[in-house]
Amino acid sequence: MTKPQKPQSNAMLKRAHENMPLGVADSYRYWGEENTVFLSSMKGCTITDCDQQTFVDFRLAYGPIILGYRDERVDNEVINAITSVGTISGFSTGLDSDVVELVKSLCPNIDKMRFANSGTEAVIGAVRTARGFTKRNKIVVVEGGFHGLHDEVMWKSDVDNWEVTDENAPEIIPFGAGIPQSTREHQVSVPLNDFKAIDTVFAEHGHDIAAILIEPIMGNCGSIASTQAYMQKLRDTCDTNGSLLIMDEVKTGFRVAKGGAQALYGIYADLTTYAKAMGNGYPIAAFGGKANVMDAISFAKDGVTHGGTYTANMVALSAAKATLTVLKETDALETIATVGQKIQALLSRVFTKFDIEHCFAGPNAMFGVHFGSEVPQNYRDWKKTNSDLYTQFALNLIDNGVMLEPDSREPWFICEAHQTVDLKWLEQVAEQSMSAAINAQ
């Protein structure tokens, strides 16, 4: 059990409140006055907080850690780059092409690429490039997808306050204040796996649709996935209409398969965004795709502008080169998938013991857990699951030394270092946590 008294954490948060809104550098890190986490170290698949409580971590910083914290294969390459070359110069090096060629060797959907520093930046670059290439404005997005923290994609279906019996669609609302209504002008939202909705949107707006933007497997919605037929529908619709298909693989890229989600579907995008697992925790992102599309980025009068002071810095590129090399040349992803499968099996035994209907969504490397009889097919289906029970179960797991996001919209992320976890212990902890969750109802 975690310690009831957390003097160091409390002191850290008190100090942080004097320096940052909510006392954190990222609003999603604020878990309340009693539960906000301050870490002192990370290694492998574990994290240790400033009160010396150690957790097996299935949150993995929302997915970037693919090999394990402080993996020496990656860190040593970063240190070598810093000491032998430097960190940033405002010019290019051979590392740029080294990383792009590694990506191209894994991902047949990539001809050319540009780098960024975050998933948000990669999506901005991909959307701008799609608009520049097509000379159109509108972007079709999918309910439950997450595409970063820039105003235009910070509109969501308010499923939390929507009743499943309501025949009307959930209201579309901004993430919060400061997002102008005008940023919705060129965005259209559709439910996942809904063929009719796609046909309706293209019938109305097709002449001005630059692209469909989709997470094939929704990393902020319990890994609810597109069906094979739906992905083919999107590909065919874009081809027929002269629109582009943008696959946001910020979470799935280099995690669910060496070639990302597109390798699983065998359906390829015109533009793709990557980040997170690409650098095992270092701040690296990229977007890329077909050569003729990417070549819309140019100094021509009607060309697309892209850049960034810290883009393609030595720290990020050396981390990406090392990480992608490990993923390409070893069986790390196979190990991750096997561990993820074993963890789902033990969780299933626990849920079955307590007669809890359950199902798993998504790949073994980032699976979602849903308390219900059927795998959700879209965000609205998620509302039908028993998310309250999941949250209590997750909070109990945290109390017992297993860290994860206490919201069933966040997947369980697996890294290579999880192969060292004592699965018997994990099953016992899961059983204790579920028993307490049921008793609390």
Angle between helices 314-329 and 94-106 (to 10 degrees): 30
| pLDDT per residue as tens digits for the range 94-141 | 999 999 999 999 999 999 999 999 999 999 999 999 999 999 999 999
3-class secondary-structure state, position 359: strand
The maximal CA–CA distance of the chain, rounded, in angstroms, is 66
Q: Is the pTM of this model over 0.75?
A: yes
* CATH (residue range 7-66+331-439): 3.90.1150.10
Give, rounded to a whole angstrom, the gap between the first and last alpha carbons of the chain.
Answer: 20
Task: Calculate helix-pair angle for 387-399, 423-439, nearest 10 degrees.
Answer: 130
What residues are paired with 48 via a beta bridge?
Answer: 41, 54
Judge whether 7-66+331-439 and 72-329 match in fold: no
Fold of the 72-329 domain: Aspartate Aminotransferase; domain 2 (3.40.640)
Question: Of all helices (H) and strands (E), which one includes residue 368?
Answer: strand 366-370
| Nearest Cα residue to 412 out of 354, 328, 346, 318 | 346
Q: What is the pLDDT along the chain (441 residues), one digit of tens a residue?
A: 567 789 999 999 999 999 999 999 999 999 999 999 999 999 999 999 999 999 999 999 999 999 999 999 999 999 999 999 999 999 999 999 999 999 999 999 999 999 999 999 999 999 999 999 999 999 999 999 999 999 999 999 999 999 999 999 999 999 999 999 999 999 999 999 999 999 999 999 999 999 999 999 999 999 999 999 999 999 999 999 999 999 999 999 999 999 999 999 999 999 999 999 999 999 999 999 999 999 999 999 999 999 999 999 999 999 999 999 999 999 999 999 999 999 999 999 999 999 999 999 999 999 999 999 999 999 999 999 999 999 999 999 999 999 999 999 999 999 999 999 999 999 999 999 999 999 998
Alpha carbon distance 413, 255 (integer Å)? 9
Q: Where are the domains of the chain?
A: 7-66+331-439, 72-329
HSE toward the beta carbon, residue 84, CA cutoff 13 A? 9
Q: Check if the beta carbon of residue 397 is closer than 8 Å to that of residue 405.
A: no
